[in-house]
Structure 1
Amino acid sequence: MASIEIGRICVKTRGREAGSKCVIVDIVDENFVLVTGPSKVSGVKRRRSNVTHIEPTDKKVEISKGATDEEVEGKLREAGLLDFMKEKVKPKLTVM
């Protein structure tokens, strides 16, 4: 599985943005990261997120720590990942 690192593309698994993709912009501590969609691309606002509420994917973009939304969007465009970021992911339901 992919690790939690700056530039890693993740899927939000909880909250109102569940199913949306985001990019890790900064690592706050061992429990929290700063993520952004950016909002114009995937609808995820720049905010702090618990690492248990995101699921890393195998994709990554090369950004610097604390990159702005415009820089992140530019790197996603360069990598050809804008359409990938706009796709919603349907959460898996577990049956008990």
Structure 2
Amino acid sequence: MNEAESSPRIGQFVYITEGREAGQYAVVVSILDERFVFIADGEKRPFHSPKKKNVNHLEFIDRVSPEVQNSIKETGRVTNGKLRHALKTFVNEQAADLKKGE
């Protein structure tokens, strides 16, 4: 993570740049310390089995899913369906933005 970027937030979207899942998007579901976060996508990585990831292997996107963030704050967990829905919505918006830019 660069100095200019703020610390990771619960519910924040990330792009995985290193490892087996490189090239995929996920959501931060927990923060271990300043160096590691837990990410999940609701499909291959469900909430109950998140992936511990080094922040240097992630590209943090300046966007947070309020549904995921509120669910984790209120109940301490989030459904895998909600994670999948948030990611699908985000990826579709990203694709629409790319088409607008062309």
TM-score (norm. length: structure 2)? 0.62
Greater Cα offset, 56-65 or 25-34: 56-65
Count of matched residue positions in the alignment of Structure 1 and Structure 2: 80
Structure 2: gaps of 5 or more residues: 93-102
Which of 33, 55, 69 matches 1:29?
33
Is contact 2:38-2:51 (8 Å) kept?
A: yes
Gapped regions of structure 1 (runs ≥ 5): 87-96
Q: State the 4+ residue runs in structure 1 displaced beyond 6 angstroms.
A: none
User: If each structure's helix is expressed as a fraction of its own residues, which one has the higher value?
Assistant: 2
Identity in percent: 33
- Give TM-score, length-normalised by structure 1: 0.65
Question: What's the CA shift string for 1:5-41, capped at 9, x where partnerless?
Answer: 10000000000100100000010011100100122xx
Corresponding position of 2:24: 20
Q: 2:53 aligns with which of 42, 49, 74?
A: 49
* Alignment RMSD: 2.8
Structure of larger gyration radius: 2
Q: More relative contact order in 1 or in 2 (CA 8 Å, sep 6+)?
A: 1
